[in-house]
Amino acid sequence: MAHLNVVLHEPEIPANTGNIGRTCVATGTRLHLIEPLGFRLDEKSLKRAGMDYWNRLDVSTYIDYQDFLEKNPGAKIYYATTKAPRSYTDVSYEEDCYIMFGKESAGIPEDILYANQETAIRIPMIGGIRSLNLGNSAAIILYEALRQHGFDHMQAEGRLRNYQWK
């Protein structure tokens, strides 16, 4: 069973983090938050976006990027950024890999990207658009990684309440 990890490097907007947390719960993905955060973890807006799923979230926090690296030695990390030369679909996501996203106002610091350019990935967009919403970006890339693993631990079909599918 593929377990994946989403990492938010210094997220600033609680609603985005709450939304990503809900996506992580729905997919069995671990969430890692690298401080400083632009909010408190007990904020109402964070929990509202995560709805009643927040208490089921597997979440870890780190005092900084170095602390994250030290507590996750040997982690295969993909760095999602608008500055990367290759698409997120050009990668084969390993089981237990980490997909990192930067803060809403500035992304992942360029020194981190430069040091890890072989695993920097991007979501293609038309020119003149700065970036997608952080929650949308995390969902797009996470679901590609899950698709590559055949959604192996996820419910594959839904049910109607009053009818049976033919």
Domain annotation covers residue 165: no
Backbone angles phi, psi at 5, to 5 degrees: -135, 135
**Is 67 within the bounds of a domain?**
yes
131 is in an annotated binding site: yes
pLDDT band at 2 (very low <50, low <70, confident <90, very high): low
pTM of the model: 0.92
Inter-residue contact 24 to 54 (CB < 8 Å): no
Number of domains in the chain: 1
Q: Which of 103, 81, 92 is nearest to 17 (CA)?
A: 103
The verdict on whether residue 107 carries a ligand-binding annotation is no
Q: What is the pLDDT of residues 7-40, one digit of tens each?
A: 999 999 988 998 999 999 999 999 999 999 998 8
Q: Which of 43, 34, 35, 36 is nearest to 15 (CA)?
A: 43
pLDDT at position 46 is 61
Strand partners, 121: 80
User: Is residue 80 within 8 Å of residue 90, measured between CB atoms?
Assistant: no
Element (H, E) at 81: none
Query: What is the per-residue pLDDT across 82-117, written as a single tens digit (0 to 9) for each?
Result: 999 999 999 999 999 999 999 999 999 999 999 999
pLDDT at 137 over 90: yes
User: What's the domain range around 87?
Assistant: 5-148
Q: Looking at the domain assignment, is residue 36 inside a domain?
A: yes
Q: Is residue 156 part of a domain?
A: no
Burial class (CB in 10 A: 0-12, 13-18, 19+), 35: middle
- DSSP letter at 87 equals B
Reported as a pLDDT band with limits 50, 70 and 90, residue 153 is confident
CATH value at residue 131? 3.40.1280.10
With respect to residue 160, please indicate whether it lies within any of the assigned structural domains: no
pLDDT at 42: 73
Residue 163 falls within a domain, yes or no?
A: no
Asked if residue 130 belongs to a domain, the reply is yes
The answer on whether 77 is annotated among ligand-binding residues is no
159 within a domain of the structure (yes/no): no
pLDDT tens per residue across span 36-81: 999 887 766 666 655 567 788 999 999 999 999 999 999 999 999 9
